[in-house]
């Protein structure tokens, strides 16, 4: 199985987990000593910290909106043991303007599992998110 295929399996499992909050499902996709850099300057070490960081991220942002969709980006690419995903996230809440943020995700594999997951936001994405939240964040409930 290629790294791209394994990453696709992880991405599908992540979407299931987003819906049902069963983070144990993702254990098989990460090495026990994996790290996650979510793009905010922090680093989560090990599966438990990674799942806490991911859960906190989706709970504090994505789940506060009525809908969540991904923009039209190129397919992920593979170079050596690294899969790169370009992403655009579009969040919608009734009576509010859409929030769109974008970036890249790098998944470095060791064997059949992710050893390092790193998110890098596109230029201006954090500023856009910050400004949107300052104007409309109180309306998210």
pLDDT tens for each residue of 57-109: 999 999 999 999 999 999 999 999 999 999 999 999 999 999 999 999 999 99
Into how many domains does the chain fold?
1
pLDDT tens for each residue of 105-139: 999 999 999 999 999 999 999 999 999 999 999 99
The predicted pLDDT at position 141 comes to: 76
Give residue 48's domain range.
Answer: 3-140
Residue 14 has pLDDT above 90, yes or no: yes
- E-assigned strand segments in 38-122: 44-45, 67-70, 77-79, 82-92, 99-110, 113-121
pLDDT category, 48, cuts 50, 70, 90?
A: very high
- Comparing CA positions, the residue from 113, 112, 111, 65 lying closest to residue 90 is 65
Give mean pLDDT, residues 36-52.
Answer: 97
Stretch (H or E) spanning 54: helix 46-60
Percent of the chain with pLDDT over 90: 99
Residue 25 has pLDDT above 80, yes or no: yes
Whole-prediction pTM value?
A: 0.93
- Residues 6+ positions from 8 with CB-CB distance below 8 Å: 76
Give mean pLDDT, residues 31-44.
Answer: 96
| Separation of alpha carbons 8 and 1, rounded Å | 11
Q: In CATH, what number is assigned to the domain containing residue 115?
A: 3.10.450.50
Give mean pLDDT, residues 11-21.
Answer: 96
């Amino acid at each position: 199985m290629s790294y791209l295929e394994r990453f696709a399996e992880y991405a599908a499992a992540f979407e299931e987990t987003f819906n049902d909050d069963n983070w144990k499902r993702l254990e098989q996709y990460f090495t026990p000593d994996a790290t996650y850099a979510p793009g905010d300057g922090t680093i989560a070490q090990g599966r438990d910290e990674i799942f806490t960081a991911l859960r906190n991220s989706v709970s504090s942002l994505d789940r506060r909106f009525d809908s969540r969709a991904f923009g039209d980006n190129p397919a992920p690419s593979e170079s050596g043991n690294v899969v790169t995903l370009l992403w655009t996230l579009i969040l919608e809440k009734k009576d509010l303007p859409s929030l769109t943020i974008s970036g890249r995700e790098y998944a470095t594999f060791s064997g059949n599992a992710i050893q390092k997951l790193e998110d890098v936001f596109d230029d201006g994405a954090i500023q856009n998110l910050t400004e949107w939240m300052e104007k409309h964040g109180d309306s998210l409930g």
